[in-house]
Amino acid sequence: MTRLPLLKLPVLLLLLAFSCGASAQERKFEPVDEAAKDASWTSFRKRLLDAVEKRDLKFVLGILDRNVRASIDGQRGVAGFRKAWDVDAADTPLWRELRAAMFLGAAYLKRDKGPQELCAPYVLAKWPNDLDPLDYGAVITKDVLVKAGPHADSSTLQTLSHEIVAVTDWEIADVAPAERQRWVKVRVKSGEGYIPEEQIRSPVEQSACFVKREGAWRMTAFAPAGGPQ
C-alpha cells in the first residue's frame, strides 16, 4: 500500500473534514407532484381532502384497499386500519396526519414487493440514497426562518426553502410554557437552530400511498415508511 508523505497528511485531513462538513449542510430538495396532470388523481385528491376537512370517515374507509398497510407492526386490512388510527376516537390523529400528507405533492414509489404506488407526500419516494432518512429532514415550504432558540421571538439565524437539513431532535417544546408550538432542532450552516415542526418533514413519517385499479384510486397504505412492505 502506498504511504502518503507526512507533509500531505494535514492537507488530506483538512479536505476530509471539509467534505464531512459539506455533506451535513443543507441540500436543495424541490417539491414534485408527479400526478398533477392526471385528472382522475387531482379530482380524487380534492375529494379526499374535502372528506378530511369534514371528517367523513365513511368516505375514507370506502377507499381503502382490503390489504391496506396501517402501522409498523404489520397490521393490514380495514380492521387493522381502524385500530391503528383509532378512527372512532374524538381525538384520532387520522385527520391531522392525513391532511398533512395529502396537502403536499405526490410521487411514484416502487417497493420490493407489490405494484408501483403513488405516495403523498413526495418526500419518501424522492429521498436521496446517500442520506440516512433517520438523520435528516426535508423543509417543505419556502422562506422558513431558522431560529436561534425554540421560540418565535428568538433571533433568526437564516432562512431555508425546500432543502434537506440534518436533524438532531425532532420534538422540542417552546420555551414559553403557554405556547403549544413544537420545534425541530436542526444543524445548518449558521450552526444549530430551530424550525417549527409543521415546516419540516421526515422521510419516515406517515405516507399515504395509492394504486389506481379499474379506474378508481385505492389507498394501499397510510403508515410510517418503516412499516411492512
Please tell me whether residues 177 and 70 are part of one structural domain: no
Supply the pLDDT for residue 5: 39
Please tell me whether residues 172 and 160 are part of one structural domain: yes
> Does 140 reside within a domain?
yes
Helix, strand, coil content of the chain in percent (nearest 5): 25, 30, 40
Summarize the confidence of residues 10-38 as an average pLDDT.
Answer: 64
Domain of 83, in residue numbers: 39-127+204-223
Q: How many CB atoms are located within 10 Å of the residue 81 CB?
A: 24
> Does 110 reside within a domain?
yes
Rounded to 10 degrees, the C-alpha dihedral 20/23/25/30 comes to 180
Please tell me whether residues 80 and 192 are part of one structural domain: no
Please tell me whether residues 98 and 120 are part of one structural domain: yes
Please tell me whether residues 113 and 161 are part of one structural domain: no
Residue 171: which CATH number? Answer: 2.30.30.40
| Nearest Cα residue to 107 out of 214, 208, 201 | 208
> Does 122 reside within a domain?
yes
Look at the chain and report how many structural domains it folds into.
2
- Whole-angstrom CA distances from 223 to 70, 160, 175, 195, 215 are 5, 28, 31, 24, 24
> 121: cis peptide before it, omega within 30°?
yes
Mean pLDDT value across the chain: 87
Q: DSSP E strands: which ranges in 11-162?
A: 27-28, 64-69, 107-109, 117-120, 136-139, 144-147, 156-160
User: pLDDT per residue over 67-125, tens digit each?
Assistant: 999 877 766 899 999 999 999 999 999 999 999 999 999 999 987 777 899 999 999 99
> Does 184 reside within a domain?
yes
- State how far the Cα of 155 lies from the Cα of 164, in Å rounded to an integer: 22
Residue 101: which CATH number? Answer: 3.10.450
Please tell me whether residues 105 and 209 are part of one structural domain: yes
Please tell me whether residues 109 and 158 are part of one structural domain: no
Q: Return phi, psi of residue 97, to 5°.
A: -70, -35
Supply the pLDDT for residue 74: 63
> Does 177 reside within a domain?
yes
Helix spans in 154-213 (H): none
What is the residue type of 25? Answer: Q
Please tell me whether residues 46 and 96 are part of one structural domain: yes
Please tell me whether residues 114 and 162 are part of one structural domain: no
Question: Torsion-angle region of residue 96: left (phi > 0), alpha (psi -120 to 50) or beta?
Answer: alpha
> Does 23 reside within a domain?
no
Please tell me whether residues 58 and 145 are part of one structural domain: no
User: pLDDT per residue over 200-224, tens digit each?
Assistant: 999 999 999 999 998 899 999 999 8
> Does 209 reside within a domain?
yes
Please tell me whether residues 70 and 166 are part of one structural domain: no
Dihedral sign, Cα of residue 194, residue 200, residue 203, residue 205: positive
Please tell me whether residues 196 and 101 are part of one structural domain: no
User: In terms of pLDDT, which residue wins out, 149 or 24?
Assistant: 149
